[in-house]
Amino acid sequence: MVATEFKANWKTLLLSIVVSLLLMVGILHFVSAEKFFAEFSNINYLLLLVSVIFLLIMYVGMTYRIKIVLDAMQVNLKFIDMLKSHFVGMLLADFTPARSGYFATAAVLHYNYKAPPDKAMVSIFGPQIFDFALKAVAGTAAVIILLWKVTDEHNKPFLLVGSVVMSLGVATMLLLLFSERFLRLFTFSKKLPLVGGIYQLLESMQKNSHIIVKKTPELLVLLLFTWSAKAISWYFVGKALGITIDIGIPELAFYYLFQPLVTMLEFIPLPTLAGTGASEAGSAFIFAALGMNPATGAAFAFLARIKTTVVNMVAVPETLRMLPQLVKKT
């Protein structure tokens, strides 16, 4: 079942690559390729390294929330094994539409470390709901605080579209995980290929969903921790490029708001590589709306993305270890 969910779709991958490349070409034309590449001429690699350290701190927090949920379901795994599984999910998320590849973390937990598939999915799906909720709330706040005053009246409704989509996604995920009545609306899907397997998995997950409710306080604390770590990581990406934000709020506070707003674009189900092109365009737009150079915004988002992908490449051996088992099951 898990194998079927994460089976590679090469046509989708190829389409995502093409769309992302076209978006990046369009962005380079809009912001000026010369100005875009000039932003990388004097990168402070020491500050970029500090950014990587805070990224790793965020990963530790994200892994610990997996541990909290698995421990509560009596699934005892080594922390380092859960961390390696998390890295695989983050790596695959960098190359899949809407970052859906992160759920492959559950596949690694199951195939490489023998965690029951339904419990592995609960440990990923449950905490991820809180992440989506944060992005919806903080992203909406960012729209209001950062852009509302500087955006033309006719364009303001469009700024809220991403937040509404994300909010609906959060509500659907909550209902699928916690509401038996809502899930029963999709009973017909049991007979459908692939979808039927997902339905059965959700049924199994609901048996353990009370764990998420019980562990909500701890998961919320960890959410604030990981949000802070990513905001600080992005702050140092900005400093590595020599960016100074002066818009009337503390500079670090800007990254607390800016980060979920841009990340929301990566989760919109477009045929792109984790929103490649969309998040760079969003960053360019936000920087331009705030009176800054749009090329700087696009360069910032691109550097933040590349830095993260390079760090995630350490998961390649663990990913390759899982592949033979996926092939065997499919």
What would the 3-class secondary structure string for the chain be?
CHHHHCCCCHHHHHHHHHHHHHHHHHHHHHHCHHHHHHCCCCCCHHHHHHHHHHHHHHHHHHHHHHHHHHHHCCCCCCHHHHHHHHHHHHHHHCCCHHHHHHHHHHHHHHHCCCCCHHHHHHHHHHHHHHHHHHHHHHHHHHHHHHHHHHCCHHHHHHHCHHHHHHHHHHHHHHHHHHCHHHHHCCHHHHHCCCHHHHHHHHHHHHCCCHHHHHCHHHHHHHHHHHHHHHHHHHHHHHHHCCCCCCCCCCHHHHHHHHHHHHHHHHHCCCCCCCCCCHHHHHHHHHHHHCCCCHHHHHHHHHHHHHHHHHHHHHHHHHHHHHHHHHHHHC
Signed CA dihedral, 158, 163, 165, 171: sign only: negative
Per-residue pLDDT, 194: 54
**156 residue type, one letter:** K
pLDDT at 232: 96
**At residue 68, what are phi and psi to the nearest 5 degrees?**
-60, -45
How many domains does the chain contain in total? 1
d(C-alpha 121, C-alpha 300), whole Å: 33
Going residue by residue through the chain (330 aa), what tens digit of pLDDT does each one get?
444 444 445 566 666 677 777 778 777 777 778 888 888 888 999 999 999 999 999 999 999 999 999 999 899 999 999 999 999 999 988 877 766 778 889 889 988 898 988 889 888 887 877 777 777 777 667 766 666 655 555 555 655 665 566 567 667 766 776 777 887 777 877 766 655 666 666 666 676 667 777 888 898 899 999 999 999 999 999 999 999 888 778 899 889 888 887 776 666 666 666 656 677 877 888 888 777 888 898 899 889 999 999 999 999 888 887 766 655 554
Cα distance between residue 96 and residue 53, in whole Å: 25
Residue with tokens 């509560």: 72
User: What pLDDT is recorded for position 15?
Assistant: 65
Which range of residues forms the domain containing residue 17? 2-329
